[in-house]
């Protein structure tokens, strides 16, 4: 339903998007993932015809966004990064306005209004003025506006930003309910979000696509070292010694556990499989040495790992890519094209050798493992972590350009 | 178009701002009409023994040049400040329809403002037998001039997300247009005595205005402010000059214009002639006073309609071109 082919966008001389291509089918929920300033919003603005791509084509439902903007807009429901609300209107008036503007009238408008108010949980604030709403209700009103005409394609720019965990779950559930017969793209820099809702992920960084696939596919692409946490009743240095001799174990760190217990942190190679093998061997080893295994916790390969790993692997520009001023645009584009293709790891074997960011084991506490039932969101952008340096610098603030 | 219009009307009338502007406009118009009347007619009402709306319609262009930009400044700038602009530009409504919806809302508000001042002629009618024809003609002229100003304000509002900037820019352009009539008299006089400087002034004013607009649309605000300041200082000098001139020398009818144009061009180049006659053509106040006198000819109507169409199109174009920046 959505087909994006090699879109590039310059803001002045700044290259915000660099040959991004992807497609989304009906019934799919695409998670659009990337650090701040990666080009997520720019891509969405191009798809919604708000801005025009400098190069490349994009189509929605078979209509080219540039040639047939009206047809495209009719099919799209769009929630911009900031919900587009008129503060002086009531929720009711605002949604009626949105419906009218979408060509809904009379009984149909009433029916749709009922539907979105129920879906978005706006009933309690239906008569309230928008300016008096809490952030969560504002976001929901913005979402209701995007849904009022029951569009085939839903484009949501960070639909859960600034919401509390309970509200995030509500929005997620709503997306779950809507996914049938629709094609949904939502952007986020919150990783759980992407795994919880999206059927497929596209990861962008520095204006380039660095990965595209299901979570499983991305995990397979990303060769990884993982941490296994072992808690043993008793335990000694000799055990530590023998654990470190296991096949997939790279290193062992012995820590003080609760009284009478010893904790071992094992760094294992070989991804999920290596981790499973290590667990089996550890269980055997501990028992054969006469200790009791109290806890064996293999860290799941989290999306954070995959994400950081992919960002690491992709050849990253030292600084934001600027168009060379003395070169004609076409030539610059030609130069940039090979770099863009090599940025996407097509061959999993080739990428296996790539170096990975070594994370201290304690990071597993910082980044909660992905858990579908987890209510809390890990907001990567907010943490004062060293990984921030991984992300390319944010492009200069250019307003809404 | 209708949903946009309705939405803007709500924006105007659901806030105290709208009511406040109408109230302030009515009060200012009535006060100026009463206070300035002795200056225009030579002696006050009681001495003259007649009541007229002449001063009312005389000051309207100047008041409108200030008030109408205040009305129209929010039309786009308010949306541009919020994300609603993004919503409007991604609705399945062509940009020209959105712009027209907003424009008609502004015009409706202008009509409400004018309707508020009807109290003044009604008040005057208590003291005698008024001749309603020139009053109605005057109101039509005011409406047409105001409608042109709304179009200018709409265009300027679409250039920025800053309402105050939209207001000042709009006011500058409207005042410039109203002042053009005065300027022409000054230029005629100047052309008689010093043709070269008249020509330079004629060329520099549009250049400064264009530079100002370009800077406002562009990214470098400092340049915009600098050129804006230049335009303001230029205007001030021009008006000071104008004040120094003998008011009697002002060209007030078309024979005089032709004469001054002739004098202006005699010593200068062919290009100068074209610029001066073009300026004579766009003297808004001529058309305004013609219609006000009851001469509703196609020339005047086409002139105001042309101004409206030009600036609404310019507005649509400037918003559309933003997609490619």
How far is residue A242's CA from residue B264's CA, in Å, rounded to a whole number?
104
pLDDT above 90 coverage of chain A, percent = 28
- Select from B241, B230, B141, B228 the least CA-distant residue to B183: B241
Residue B82 with chain A: CB contacts under 8 Å: 82, 84-87
Asked whether the beta carbons of residue A88 and residue B2 sit closer than 8 angstroms, the reply is: no
Tell me if A90 sits within 8 A of A125, measured CB to CB.
no
Q: Nearest chain A Cα to B83, which residue?
A: A84
Residue A149 banded pLDDT, cuts 50, 70, 90: very high
Tell me if A141 sits within 8 A of A91, measured CB to CB.
yes
Average pLDDT, chain B: 75
Asked whether the beta carbons of residue B84 and residue A76 sit closer than 8 angstroms, the reply is: no
- pLDDT for position B307: 85
pLDDT digit string, tens, across residues A285-307? 888 888 888 888 887 666 666 67
Asked whether the beta carbons of residue B324 and residue A101 sit closer than 8 angstroms, the reply is: no
pLDDT at A170 over 80: yes
Residue A197: φ, ψ to 5°: -115, -40
Average pLDDT, chain A: 77
Measured between CB atoms, does B7 come within 8 Å of chain A? Answer: yes
pLDDT digit string, tens, across residues B304-320? 888 899 899 989 988 88
- pLDDT for position B210: 64
Q: Which fold has domain A2-220?
A: Rossmann fold (3.40.50)
Q: Nearest chain B Cα to A96, which residue?
A: B3
Task: Measure CB to CB from residue A73 to each of B6, B84, B91 and give the nearest one.
Answer: B91
- pLDDT for position B188: 64
**Mutate: best of A61, A86, A95, A149, partner B, most B CBs <10 A:** A86
Residue A384 banded pLDDT, cuts 50, 70, 90: very low
ipTM strictly over 0.90? Answer: no
Task: Measure CB to CB from residue A70 to each of B14, B86, B92 and give the nearest one.
Answer: B92
Asked whether the beta carbons of residue A73 and residue B90 sit closer than 8 angstroms, the reply is: yes
- pLDDT for position B262: 53
How far is residue B142's CA from residue B300's CA, in Å, rounded to a whole number?
12
For A34, A94, A149, A283, B10, the CA distances from A130, given in Å and listed in that order, are: 31, 8, 20, 59, 14
Tell me if A9 sits within 8 A of A53, measured CB to CB.
yes
Measured between CB atoms, does B23 come within 8 Å of chain A? Answer: no
- Write down the domain spans for chain B: 2-324
Residue A47 with chain B: CB contacts under 8 Å: none
Residue B87 with chain A: CB contacts under 8 Å: 78, 80, 84, 98, 145
Asked whether the beta carbons of residue B86 and residue A49 sit closer than 8 angstroms, the reply is: no
How far is residue A24's CA from residue A20's CA, in Å, rounded to a whole number?
13
Asked whether the beta carbons of residue A73 and residue B92 sit closer than 8 angstroms, the reply is: yes
Q: Which of A47-56, A378-387, B112-121, B256-265 has the lowest mean pLDDT?
A: A378-387
Rg over alpha carbons for chain B, rounded to the nearest Å, is 21
More confident residue, B52 or A373: B52
Task: Measure CB to CB from residue A52 to each of B90, B94, B324 and give the nearest one.
Answer: B324
**Mutate: best of A101, A102, A329, partner B, most B CBs <10 A:** A101
Average pLDDT over residues A82-97: 92
Q: Which of A37-41, A395-399, B235-239, B259-263 has the lowest mean pLDDT?
A: A395-399
Tell me if B220 sits within 8 A of B322, measured CB to CB.
no
Asked whether the beta carbons of residue A97 and residue B89 sit closer than 8 angstroms, the reply is: no
pLDDT digit string, tens, across residues A199-241? 898 988 888 888 888 877 776 666 567 778 889 988 888 888 8
A225-298: in CATH 1.10.3720.10: no
Q: Kindly report the pTM of this predicted structure.
A: 0.71
> 3-state DSSP: chain B helix, strand, coil percent, rounded to 5?
85, 0, 15
Measured between CB atoms, does A85 come within 8 Å of chain B? Answer: yes
More confident residue, A373 or B68: B68
**Mutate: best of B3, B10, B158, B160, partner A, most A CBs <10 A:** B3
Q: Nearest chain B Cα to A49, which residue?
A: B90
Residue B91 with chain A: CB contacts under 8 Å: 73, 101-102
Residue A334 banded pLDDT, cuts 50, 70, 90: very low
- Write down the domain spans for chain A: 2-220, 225-298
CA B15 to chain A, closest CA, distance in angstroms equals: 8
- pLDDT for position A235: 81
């Amino acid at each position: 339903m959505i087909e994006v082919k090699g879109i590039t966008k310059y803001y002045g001389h700044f290259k915000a998007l660099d040959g991004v291509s992807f497609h989304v089918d009906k019934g799919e929920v695409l998670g659009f993932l990337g650090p701040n300033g990666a080009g997520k919003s720019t891509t969405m603005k191009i798809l919604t015809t708000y801005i025009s791509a400098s190069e490349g084509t994009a189509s929605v439902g078979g209509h080219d966004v540039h040639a047939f903007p009206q047809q495209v807009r009719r099919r799209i429901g769009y929630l911009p990064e900031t919900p587009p609300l008129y503060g002086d209107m009531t929720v009711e008036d605002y949604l009626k306005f949105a419906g009218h503007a979408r060509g809904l009238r009379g009984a149909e408008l009433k029916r749709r209004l009922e539907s979105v108010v129920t879906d978005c949980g706006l009933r309690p604030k239906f008569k309230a003025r928008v300016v008096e709403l809490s952030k969560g209700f504002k976001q929901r009103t913005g979402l209701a506006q995007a849904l009022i005409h029951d569009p085939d394609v839903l484009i949501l720019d960070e639909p859960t930003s600034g919401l509390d965990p309970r509200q995030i779950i509500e929005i997620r559930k709503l997306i779950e309910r809507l996914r049938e017969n629709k094609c949904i793209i939502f952007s986020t820099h919150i990783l759980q979000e992407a795994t919880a809702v999206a059927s497929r992920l596209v990861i962008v960084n520095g204006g380039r696509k660095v990965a595209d696939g299901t979570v499983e596919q991305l995990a397979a692409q990303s060769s990884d070292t993982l941490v296994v946490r072992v808690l043993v009743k008793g335990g000694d240095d000799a055990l530590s010694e023998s654990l470190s001799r296991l096949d997939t174990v790279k290193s062992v760190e012995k820590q003080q556990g609760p009284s009478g217990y010893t904790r071992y942190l094992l760094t294992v190679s070989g991804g999920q499989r290596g981790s499973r093998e290590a667990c089996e061997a550890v269980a055997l080893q501990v028992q054969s040495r006469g200790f009791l295994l109290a806890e064996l916790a293999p860290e799941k390969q989290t999306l954070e790992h995959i994400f950081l790993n992919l960002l690491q692997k992709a050849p990253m520009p030292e600084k934001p890519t600027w168009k060379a001023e003395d070169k004609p645009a076409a030539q610059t584009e030609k130069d940039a094209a090979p770099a863009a293709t090599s940025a996407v790891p097509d061959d999993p074997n080739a990428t296996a050798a790539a170096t990975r960011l070594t994370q201290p084991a304690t990071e597993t506490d910082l980044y909660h493992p992905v858990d579908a039932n987890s209510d809390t969101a890990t907001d990567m952008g907010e943490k004062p972590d060293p990984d921030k340096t991984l992300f390319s610098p944010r492009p200069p603030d250019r307003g809404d350009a | 178009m209708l949903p946009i219009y309705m939405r803007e009307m709500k924006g105007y009338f659901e806030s105290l701002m709208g009511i406040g502007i109408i109230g302030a406009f009515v009060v200012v118009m009535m006060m100026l009409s009463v206070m300035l009347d002795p200056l225009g007619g030579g002696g006050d009402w009681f001495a003259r023994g007649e009541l007229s709306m002449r001063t009312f319609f005389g000051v309207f262009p100047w008041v409108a040049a200030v008030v109408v930009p205040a009305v129209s400044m929010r039309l786009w700038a308010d949306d541009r400040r919020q994300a609603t602009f993004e919503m409007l530009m991604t609705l399945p409504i062509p940009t020209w329809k959105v712009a027209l919806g907003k424009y008609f809302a502004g015009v409706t508000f202008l009509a409400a403002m004018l309707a508020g001042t009807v109290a003044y002629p009604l008040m005057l009618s208590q003291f005698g037998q008024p001749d309603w024809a020139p009053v109605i003609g005057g109101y039509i002229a005011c409406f047409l001039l105001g409608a042109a100003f709304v179009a200018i304000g709409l265009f300027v509002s679409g250039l920025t997300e800053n309402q105050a900037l939209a207001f000042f820019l709009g006011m500058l352009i409207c005042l410039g247009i109203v002042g053009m009539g005065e300027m022409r008299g000054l230029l005629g006089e100047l052309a008689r005595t010093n043709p070269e400087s008249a020509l330079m002034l004629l060329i520099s004013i549009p250049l400064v205005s264009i530079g100002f607009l370009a800077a406002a649309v562009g990214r470098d605000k400092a340049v915009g402010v600098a050129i804006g300041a230049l335009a303001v200082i230029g205007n001030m000098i021009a008006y000071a000059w104008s004040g120094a001139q003998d008011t009697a020398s002002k060209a007030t009818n078309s024979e005089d214009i032709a004469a001054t144009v002739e004098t202006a061009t005699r010593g200068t180049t062919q290009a100068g002639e074209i610029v001066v006659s073009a300026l004579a053509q766009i003297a808004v106040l001529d058309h305004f006073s013609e219609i006000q006198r009851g001469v509703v000819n196609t020339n005047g109507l086409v002139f105001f309609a042309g101004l409206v169409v030009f600036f609404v199109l310019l507005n649509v174009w400037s918003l559309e071109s933003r997609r490619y920046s």
